[in-house]
Structure 1
Amino acid sequence: MLLEIVSPEGHLFKGEVTAVTVPGVDGEFQLLNQHANIVSVLAAGTVKIAVNNLNAATEYSPKFTRNDKEQKLFLAIQSGTLEMKDNKIIILVD
C-alpha cells in the first residue's frame, strides 16, 4: 500500500509500506494492506511504519528514526489526521 505523510513544511514520506501504526485519539491502531476506508484524528505519539526494505523507501525526511533490524521507521507527531482509501494512506501532521 502507498503511504504519504505531509506536514506544513512539505512531504515527509512517500513510498510503499507493509503496515502503519498510528496514535489515534482513542488508542493506537494499525493499518494493513486492503484495510477498510477510514478517516481518523491522530493524537500526540509515534507513527510506526513497516517496510519490506528500508533502503528502498522512496523518500523520507531526516525527522524519522529508523530500526534497521525490524525494517521500521518512526516519526513523533503532536497531532494529525489520517485518511485511507483505495489502499492509499495520507497522513497530515503538525
Structure 2
Amino acid sequence: MADTMQFDLVSPEKSLASGPVTAVQIPGADGDMTVMPLHAPTITTLRPGVLRVEASAGTTEYVVTGGFAEINAEGVSVLAERAIAKGDMTADDMASMVADARAELNNVKEVFDNQPGPVDDAAKLLADMVAMGDEIGLSAK
C-alpha cells in the first residue's frame, strides 16, 4: 500500500501547495471527508471551511471558501474559489469573506424574490462562512 499521494491546491491567484502527503481532510459540501492514498475516485464540491493536509513534515491548514476536489488513486487536486493558509488569515480577511457572502445573500433575495432554493443556498453559504470564522478563531463582527 502506498504511504503517500500527490496533493495540489490551486486558487485563481496562485498554486498554494504541491507535494506528497499522507492524508487530506476536505470540507465537502455534503460533509467532511478524509482522503488517504489509494482512495476511490471521487469529485466533490467544497463548502467554506478548513482544509487540513497531513505530510511527513506535519499538518498544514488552509481556509477555503468553495470550489471542488478531484480525488483519484494517485492523489488529490483541490481547485479552490479562494484559499489562504490558515496562519496568514487575518480578521480583515474573514470580515471581507463574510461581507461578500452577506452581499451575495442580499443580491439573491432581490433577484429571486425569496425563492427557497437559491435564497437557502446563499443563506447556507453565509452561515458556513460565519461558522468557519468561529472555528479558526476569527469570528466576524
TM-score bucket of the superposed structures, by smaller chain: 0.7 to 0.9
Distance of 2:23 and 2:75 partners within structure 1: 12
Q: State how 1:1-94 maps to structure 2 within 5 Å.
A: 1-53=5-57, 71-94=58-81
Q: Is the radius of gyration larger for structure 1 or structure 2? A: 2
**Corresponding residue SS for 1:9:** coil
* Higher helix fraction (1 or 2): 2
* Higher strand fraction (1 or 2): 1
- Whose relative contact order is higher, 1 or 2, with alpha carbons under 8 Å and at least 6 apart? 1
The Cα offsets for residues 14-39 of structure 1, whole Å up to 9 and x where unpaired, read as 01000000101121110001000011
C-alpha RMSD of matched pairs (Å): 0.8
Please give the TM-score of this superposition, normalised by the length of structure 2: 0.53
Unaligned runs of 5+ in 1: 54-70
Unaligned runs of 5+ in 2: 82-141
Please give the TM-score of this superposition, normalised by the length of structure 1: 0.78
Paired positions, count: 77
Q: Runs ≥4 in structure 1, deviation > 2 angstroms?
A: none
